[in-house]
Structure 1
């Protein structure tokens, strides 16, 4: 799968990016939320979950109202408030670390507000790296092969993109072959700008970053649409006990129905479809970070392979 995803991203990066989003965007949102909500139900619960949902809903509204000058700045502030809430929850018994974390978030917020274009490019790529953390955490249940599994995941998430950015695969780049997909998405420059810092738009890194995004996005979908549904069944079972209306194949049907509706919108109005998708995707994208921060803080309970709740302490 890694080889196929890499070859496709190298030869047809725009097509892989655009078609992949249309085919798997909504479906992977649903399945990822199902896994994360089940696996980390001890974190995503009660008032903490209510606070996160309120903040992310604010981000959704910002994304649905992109024409207002304040919407991007408001989304940045709300995003950092999500992180601050996660730090407050995970480090509530460690005041010194909490103070340091909030100070760092304050500095990062100032930087993001000063350079919003860089913030959103970074966020787009970071989202595709996040599966590494969930795969790493999932592997803690393995009795054998844990190290090999983790090294393999780190290789495709970190090493292959680094090689792409270094130009190791430049002889195989075929970015000019899928101009139709780029034009469909509003033009090649617009597509590159979504995943490239402004200072690098006129450099070789622009196409390389698009290839990195296309490759990692494809593997991102592999993780959430194929791997986790097959190997994260205890998490699915815990989720279904919380949301009985989505038992069995109902979550899949919801994701497939959403995909079909979004595909129709993409064909008729790609820009409008991308805006709507970006708003919907806010929930799964922003809820990842509180879980990761809580785990890093050692404050999270997760479900083991046998369904038992285990607590991590750092």
Structure 2
């Protein structure tokens, strides 16, 4: 994409593909921080209560009802917010690599498809490093060595790789929210503290057993999910219920970031996306997410295993695109913070 997002001054009125909007009003929502902080505190309390009492149910129902919708809205956000990075040959290369991962997921499971997915995943990171560091060969070589070492470890311990990847995906919103908060004039510290609380502190407390007295008893569904969300060394132990609870809590909070927070508090990203893809304006994007989500939910009800397999393939694009985008952000190629906070 050709231009940076979010260079508004926070004053005046500007017309976008989504229509005219008052930048002072939207900038104030981002700048004050009261609404976002209160919203996240309330959401954290409700989601934590649900996850502790019904970990397996929260995980399954959350995925079936909000999984596809959050995919669509997150892709919209990344394509709009990071349009300066995601464009041209680089975007096409990332899309080709991720499509390769999709093929690995839809083909019959084997050691070959498993290793192929791992190698393509690290290929995404390598491509991002080359794109960002092509004028800094020494740093690029060091980054390449780190990627090669990590890839070797993942290929040696693939079961751990996929469990870690599953939980890491739910941690990713912290970095997007941290970046968004750069434009806040007031309340930034409180906002960031709340994000660290739900992304890092609460999961650690759950895993430590601090909430065991409030956690519901396990079930057959809990045992079934534990295989995917628990590191192999802790499977078939009491830790399995804790890992499922962590996943349920983090996943539902993750969904809310994309279906509640970003659509409400990041209007510039939506407007930038609609300039690029006018056929998917606000209503159509939501209709796509809700319609596809309803179809997937019906499949979950009739055949849960087939539903999860289809979702895993569909979710590949948003899940794997996050990592090169965030790497580019860390390397200083992300958008500039807005003065008004409507990041």
Q: TM-score, normalised by structure 2?
A: 0.85
Residue in 1 that maps onto 2:303: 269
Q: 1:132 aligns with which of 174, 177, 186?
A: 174
- Unaligned residue ranges in structure 1 (runs of 5+): 183-187, 310-314
Q: Distance in 1 between matches of 2:224 and 2:162?
A: 14
Structure 1 residue 147, shift from structure 2 partner: 1.3
Structure 1 residue 9, shift from structure 2 partner: 0.6
2:118 is the alignment partner of 1:76? yes
Structure 1 residue 93, shift from structure 2 partner: 2.1
Q: 2:68 aligns with which of 23, 26, 30?
A: 26
Cα offsets for 1:196-229 (capped at 9, x unmatched): 1111103222111111110001110110000000
2:332 is the alignment partner of 1:290? no
2:216 is the alignment partner of 1:174? yes
Q: 2:189 aligns with which of 132, 139, 147?
A: 147
Partner SS for 2:264: helix
Residue in 2 that maps onto 1:312: none
Q: Is the 8 A contact 1:38 1:236 kept in 2?
A: yes
Structure 1 residue 174, shift from structure 2 partner: 0.4
Cα offsets for 1:235-276 (capped at 9, x unmatched): 000000000110121100000011011011111211111011
Q: Is the 8 A contact 1:58 1:78 kept in 2?
A: yes
Q: Is the 8 A contact 1:234 1:307 kept in 2?
A: no
Q: 2:242 aligns with which of 208, 215, 218?
A: 208
Q: Is the 8 A contact 1:41 1:302 kept in 2?
A: no
Structure 1 residue 104, shift from structure 2 partner: 0.7
Q: Is the 8 A contact 2:180 2:337 kept in 1?
A: no
Q: CA RMSD in A?
A: 1.6
2:234 is the alignment partner of 1:192? no
Q: Distance in 2 between matches of 1:64 and 1:303?
A: 39
Residue in 2 that maps onto 1:62: 104
2:152 is the alignment partner of 1:118? no
Q: Distance in 1 between matches of 2:269 and 2:128?
A: 21
Partner SS for 1:175: coil
- Unaligned residue ranges in structure 2 (runs of 5+): 1-42
Q: Distance in 2 between matches of 1:221 and 1:308?
A: 20
Partner SS for 1:42: coil
Q: Is the 8 A contact 1:125 1:213 kept in 2?
A: yes
Q: Is the 8 A contact 1:234 1:303 kept in 2?
A: no
Structure 1 residue 300, shift from structure 2 partner: 2.6
Partner SS for 1:139: helix
Q: Distance in 2 between matches of 1:196 and 1:308?
A: 38
Residue in 1 that maps onto 2:150: 108
Cα offsets for 1:255-310 (capped at 9, x unmatched): 0011011011111211111011001101000111111101111123347366999x
Q: Distance in 2 between matches of 1:65 and 1:291?
A: 27
Q: Distance in 1 between matches of 2:278 and 2:162?
A: 35
2:10 is the alignment partner of 1:10? no
Q: Is the 8 A contact 2:163 2:230 kept in 1?
A: yes
Q: TM-score, normalised by structure 1?
A: 0.92
Matches within 5 A, 1:218-257: 218-257=252-291
Q: 2:92 aligns with which of 50, 53, 66?
A: 50
Residue in 1 that maps onto 2:134: 92
Q: Distance in 1 between matches of 2:128 and 2:232?
A: 30
Partner SS for 2:185: coil
Aligned residues: 301
